[in-house]
Amino acid sequence: MEPITLPENFFFGAAMSGPQTEGRWAEGGKLENLWDTWSIENIDDFYNKVGSYVGNDFMTMYEEDLRLLKEELGFTTFRTSIQWSRLLDRDGELNPAGVEWYHRLFAAAGEAGLEIFVNLYHFDMPTYLFRRGGWENREVVDAYENYARKAFAEFGQEVRYWFTFNEPTVEPEQRYQEGVWWPFTKNFNRARTVQYNISIAHAKGVQAFREAQSAGLVRDDARIGLINAFMPPYTKDDPSDADLEAVRMVDGINNRWWLDLVTKGELPADVMETLAERGCVLPVRPGDDAILARGTVDWLGCNYYQPTRVQAPSRDVDDAGCPVFADKYVWPDAVMNESRGWEVYPKGIYDFGMTAARDYPDLEWFVSENGMGIEGEYKNRDASGKVQDDYRIDFVRQHLTWIAKAIEDGARCVGYHYWGAIDNWSWNNAFKNRYGFIEVDLMENYRRVPKLSAAWMRQVATSHIVS
């Protein structure tokens, strides 16, 4: 393969989240979040009964981890999230121990030579707010706004890159539509209410950021963005009109909803119309349009793992009485990551880039997550004990190759963050699928050990040549 070069100012980094790494879930005044409570109440739902409590022990290991990201992987940037449940107390006031930790972490990232990217929400609502209705309750939107304002005021001079949410499509889908995560609800309409209220929360977060910046609380060169999982939609090779209609709605709800919000400050009219026609009523309040109009961002993060393949639905309405817009479709040529059950389709990131360039030409974006989680790879070691993860090299190489082509063809993609660069806790899958270039050895106090792929990643990140 011919080596491919990525632009000089293209950045490489690691994406992680607070609830999946920090641990010390009940120390320093931290409140329970949804994951902690679910772990306490039903530990059997978690792979090998490993709940949220320790994460990957990042609060103990963070200095070493930051050094590994910089020195072993050659990264210059690093994303994590603040845990709402650690930063604020039940009255919505700052928790001193949480404040101290994040100041310490952000300073340590700077000292390690890493630019920190801070996300405010990564599926981790404080449980007491969830018990009040979570995102179905508009008061929780107000609580989020207060949280965002406090975070901007406290850390505004330290952090340059801020994000309001990670994957605001995924939380409604996993918790309310597919019923995979607590509270295991399967109701399409409730999922859209959650999605709508998160959109309002996002826009209020952006407004809070702009106000904090005007007031001099946030540095002048700071930027605000949103991170979503963009799954380019595909259907059968010879599609019917109904198949194409399925694509329109799935793309509309998962992708265009957020792309329109962050570039135009509005939600896609065709999607809103179809939802209303099919009886999906959103909790719209007078004045919401003006709130959403403030939701435009400075740039966007695109998490890319897999495409969406859909076809016309086999029924119009489901058992809960909600509209059905599409059925899943398995592409006969699909290459699967069997561990995770996700299709591997590197060209999807190119297709996203081309759609963004065509329909949202002013939008600057970066790949904010991409990664490969594999089960049982610790069994596959060389004589020195290093995990032999050549498939991870191949996975990243293929994605970077398509990203380079997208840039060449006009995509405004400016960087790449690998998800879970150091193995971390994957929600109810716990440590089943490992994503890292750096192994976390659970049998030896969370010891960090670079895998085979680490040296390859370092070579690419420091040279910008993908070989």
Helix, coil or strand: residue 14: strand
Structure tokens at 102: 């994040």
Angle at which helices 188-214 and 257-264 cross, to 10°: 20
Strands 4-5 and 115-119: unpaired
Number of neighbouring beta carbons within 10 Å of residue 376 = 10
Q: Which is nearer to ligand BG6, 37 or 169 (CB)?
A: 169
DSSP state of 381: B
Q: How far is the CB of 13 from ligand BG6 (least distance, A)?
A: 15
d(CA 449, CA 454): 10
Q: Given candidates 170, 198, 300, 422, which one binds ligand BG6 under the rule CB under 6 A? A: 170
Should residue 392 be labelled a site residue for ligand BG6 when binding is judged by CB under 6 A? no
Catalytic annotation, pick one of 136, 154, 158, 167: 167
Q: How far is the CB of 233 from ligand BG6 (least distance, A)?
A: 17
**Binding to ligand BG6 in span 321-360, by CB under 6 A:** 340
Should residue 167 be labelled a site residue for ligand BG6 when binding is judged by CB under 6 A? yes
Enumerate the β-bridge partners of residue 229: 303
Should residue 106 be labelled a site residue for ligand BG6 when binding is judged by CB under 6 A? no
- Please say if 167 is a catalytic residue: yes
Contact in structure between 78 and 111 (CB atoms under 8 Å): no
Q: How far is the CB of 18 from ligand BG6 (least distance, A)?
A: 11
Q: Given candidates 124, 136, 154, 369, which one binds ligand BG6 under the rule CB under 6 A? A: 369
Q: How far is the CB of 55 from ligand BG6 (least distance, A)?
A: 12
**Binding to ligand BG6 in span 247-276, by CB under 6 A:** none
Q: Which is nearer to ligand BG6, 156 or 172 (CB)?
A: 172
Q: Looking at this protein, which amino acid is placed at residue 430?
A: A
Piece of the chain touching ligand BG6 by CB under 6 A; list 46-54, 166-174, 316-324, 325-333: 166-174
With CB atoms as reference, the residue minimizing the distance to ligand BG6 is 426
Residues 6+ apart with CB under 8 A from 311: 235, 236, 239, 243, 246, 326, 327, 328, 329
Q: How far is the CB of 86 from ligand BG6 (least distance, A)?
A: 17
- Rg for the chain, CA atoms, rounded: 21
Q: How far is the CB of 227 from ligand BG6 (least distance, A)?
A: 8
**Binding to ligand BG6 in span 126-165, by CB under 6 A:** none
Give the DSSP H/E element, type plus range, for residue 439. Answer: strand 438-441
Q: Given candidates 81, 83, 95, 166, which one binds ligand BG6 under the rule CB under 6 A? A: 166
**Binding to ligand BG6 in span 426-465, by CB under 6 A:** 426-427, 429, 433
d(CA 32, CA 388): 37
Beta strands in 147-247 (DSSP E): 161-166, 223-229, 233-234
d(CA 222, CA 100): 21
Residues forming the active site: 167, 369
Q: Which residues bind ligand BG6 (CB under 6 A)?
A: 17, 20, 166-167, 170, 229, 303, 340, 369, 373, 419, 426-427, 429, 433
